[in-house]
Amino acid sequence: MKQITLLTALLLLALVKATQAQSLTPSVVASSGGFSNSANGSLSYTTGEMTMVKTFTSGSNTLTQGFQQPDSVVVIGLLDPAKPEGNVALYPVPANTQLWFAYQFEKTGRVEVSLYDMRGSQLDFTYQAQSNGAREAQALNCGALATGTYLLRVAFTAEGDNRSAVITRQFQVIH
C-alpha cells in the first residue's frame, strides 16, 4: 500500500512540475528595441538578440515568432535605410587586446562612437570627432574587456542636419 501511495504522490508531483514548466516569463537580453500595439496585434523588436518578433495572444496563451539576427553585423541607417551614408569596418575580429574601427561618411559632420555589452549597458568608452569625408581609423583597447560579444555604435550627424545615421557593428573579444 505504501508503494502505491508513494507512486501516486510521485506522479502527482510530476504532473504539478510539468504544469509549472509550461508557464514562461518573457525576457530577452538586448541592447535596444521597442514595442507597438494596435487592434491587429502587437509587434516587438530588439537589437542584439532578434531583429523582429511578432507576439500573438489569445486568452492565457502567447505565441512568439521571430527571426534570429546574424552573428556578424547589425546595421541601422536612419537617414536612408536603403542606403546608409557611410561605412564602418572593424578589424581584427575577433579581437584580443586591440580592435581597430574605421569609418567613412559621404558628407562632413560629427561622429560619436560608443561601446555596449550585449545586455545593452553602455561601457566606459566614447570617441567623438569631426569627419571630413575621408576614411579614418582609431584603436580601441580591449585588454580590460571580458571575453564576450560587444556592440560598437557609430552615430553620424551631417552638418546642417539634426538627424543621425547610426551604424552598429557586433564583435567578439577573446583572451
The confidence score (pLDDT) of residue 98 equals 93
What's the rounded mean pLDDT across residues 158-171? 87
pLDDT of 104 higher than 50: yes
pTM: 0.53
- Predicted local confidence at residue 128, as pLDDT: 95
Residue 133 lies in domain? 73-173
Please indicate whether residue 12 or residue 53 has the higher confidence score (pLDDT): 12
Last residue of a domain, one of 30, 52, 68: 68
Higher pLDDT, 69 or 171: 171
Q: Taking residues 161-166, report their average pLDDT.
A: 84
Q: Where are the alpha helices (DSSP H) in the chain?
A: 2-21
Which of residues 68, 88, 121 is at a domain's end?
68
- R_g of the chain computed on alpha carbons: 23
Residues 30 and 84 grouped into a single domain = no
82 shares a domain with 61: no
Same domain, 51 and 81: no
- How many angstroms separate the CA atoms of 1 and 22, rounded? 32
What is the identity of the amino acid at 47? T
Closest CA to 164 of 101, 89, 109, 103: 109
Question: Residue 140: is its pLDDT beyond 60?
Answer: yes
Domains identified in the chain, total number: 2
- If you ran DSSP here, which 8-state letter would residue 145 be given? S
Final residue before a domain boundary, out of 68, 85, 107: 68
Q: How sure is the predictor about 133, in pLDDT bands with cuts at 50, 70 and 90?
A: confident
Residues 34, 114: one domain? no
Label residue 152 exposed, middle or buried (CB < 10 Å: 0-12, 13-18, 19+). buried
**Cell numbers of 129, please?**
570627432
57 and 83 inside one domain: no
